[in-house]
């Protein structure tokens, strides 16, 4: 603390935000790591250049069974499995053959809120997990069946969707929860109550221990990965939007009648659709949710993150 006043000297030589730290007692290191994390632009990380057909990243909170699921998938004990949360400290890449396809599966360190990261090792492990997520074609979010879909899982799911990734949810340890008079459908409903957007992504109830439905994981992942790889034509999109608007016209706002003119796909991965309207800024979130749902149902986009870009036209 006696040296804190000296940090002002660094402003004079061009440093914008000097952070005083102590290697001896660790003071200020947490602030330094937070600043480092916030300064990284993950969107600029290059996509993986390997020659695999599909890259899948397994993410989730610590100790939900990510490594156990990986071992069950590859049918050998490669990842470290332990009851101690946070055993996996780095992203582990495994390439397997599946129906003639080379599939890379990346097991990541457990993701936690930055405020709960306890060490430098865990901090950098979470950075590598985020790097792996951005490089992947599809994300498998693992949830502990006994703990349920918590706020932390919701945060991870939101981040996956924000990054525009395809996603499927694996509820692991279902062998422990299914004996408590809990049906998969009721469990899903509870998850939807926590986060409505999960309705658009496949949910699979599995057990790494008993191998329950483990063989279905890659089938579901491949189905999501191969969906809608080509851009939708403007013609079929406008046939769709005409029907959607006819069934439920956009409600007026601020005394103005809103007209949807046309729609076109402007980006393939993740799919982004330009929606042209006379008053794009007045289209409500509720109406956009309706269009999202209609688009998914009409073109079978379950598991794919889609976005609308509202434009004047």
pLDDT of res. 2: 56
CATH of domain 234-312: 3.30.300.20
Task: List the chain pLDDT tens, one digit each, 313 residues.
Answer: 556 566 666 655 556 677 788 777 777 777 777 777 666 655 544 444 467 899 999 988 888 998 899 989 887 654 444 443 444 445 568 888 898 898 999 887 554 444 444 444 343 345 556 677 778 899 999 999 999 999 888 988 998 998 899 999 999 999 998 767 789 999 999 999 999 999 999 999 999 999 999 999 999 999 999 987 789 999 999 999 999 999 999 999 999 999 999 999 999 888 999 999 999 999 999 999 999 999 999 999 999 999 999 999 8
Tokens of 33: 């790591």
Pair 312, 277: CB distance under 8 Å: yes
Q: Report the length, in residues, of the chain.
A: 313
Residue ranges of E strands in 173-231: 203-205
pLDDT of res. 46: 43
Instruction: Convert 44-56 into a string of H (helix), E (strand) and C (coil).
Output: HCCCCCCCCCEEE
pLDDT of res. 89: 45
CA distance 106 to 114: 22
Q: CA gyration radius for the chain?
A: 23
- Any idea what DSSP says for residue 252? P
Residue ranges of E strands in 148-195: 166-172
pLDDT of res. 52: 85
CA distance 206 to 201: 16
pLDDT of res. 25: 77
Task: Indicate the pTM of the whole model.
Answer: 0.73
CA distance 223 to 241: 26
The answer as to CATH 3.40.50.300 being correct for domain 51-226 is yes
Which strand (E) or helix (H) includes residue 251? none
pLDDT of res. 17: 72
Q: How many CB atoms lie within 10 A of CB 240?
A: 18
* Antiparallel, parallel or unpaired: β 307-312 and 260-267: unpaired
pLDDT of res. 188: 96
Pair 168, 138: CB distance under 8 Å: yes
Tokens of 36: 């480092």
Domain ranges of the chain: 4-39, 51-226, 234-312
pLDDT of res. 4: 59
CA distance 126 to 113: 10
């Amino acid at each position: 603390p006696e040296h804190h006043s000296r940090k002002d000297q660094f402003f004079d030589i061009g440093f914008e935000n000097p952070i005083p730290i102590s290697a001896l007692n660790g003071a200020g290191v947490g602030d330094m790591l937070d600043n480092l994390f916030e300064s990284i632009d993950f969107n600029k990380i290059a996509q993986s250049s390997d020659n695999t057909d599909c890259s899948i990243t397994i993410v989730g909170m610590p100790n939900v069974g990510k490594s156990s699921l990986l071992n069950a998938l590859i049918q050998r004990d490669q990842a470290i499995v332990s009851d101690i949360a946070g055993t996996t400290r780095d992203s582990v890449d495994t390439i397997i053959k599946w129906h003639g396809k080379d599939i890379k599966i990346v097991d990541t360190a457990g993701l936690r809120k930055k405020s709960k990261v306890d060490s430098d090792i865990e901090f950098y492990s979470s950075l590598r997990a985020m790097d792996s997520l951005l490089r992947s074609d599809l994300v498998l979010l693992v949830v502990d069946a006994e703990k349920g879909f918590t706020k932390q899982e919701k945060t991870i799911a939101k981040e996956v969707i924000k990054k525009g990734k395809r996603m499927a949810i694996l509820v692991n340890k279902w062998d422990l929860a299914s004996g408590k008079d809990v049906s998969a459908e009721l469990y899903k409903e509870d998850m939807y109550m926590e986060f409505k957007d999960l309705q658009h992504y496949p949910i699979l109830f599995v057990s790494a221990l008993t191998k329950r439905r483990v063989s279905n994981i890659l089938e579901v992942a491949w189905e999501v990965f191969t969906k809608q790889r080509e851009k939708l034509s403007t013609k079929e999109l406008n046939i769709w939007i005409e029907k959607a608007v006819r069934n439920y016209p956009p409600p007026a706002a601020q005394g103005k009648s809103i007209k949807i003119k046309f729609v076109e796909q402007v980006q393939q991965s993740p799919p982004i659709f330009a929606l042209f309207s006379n008053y794009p800024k007045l289209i409500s979130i509720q109406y956009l949710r309706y269009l999202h749902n209609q688009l998914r149902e009409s073109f079978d986009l379950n598991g794919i993150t889609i976005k609308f870009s509202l434009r004047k036209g």
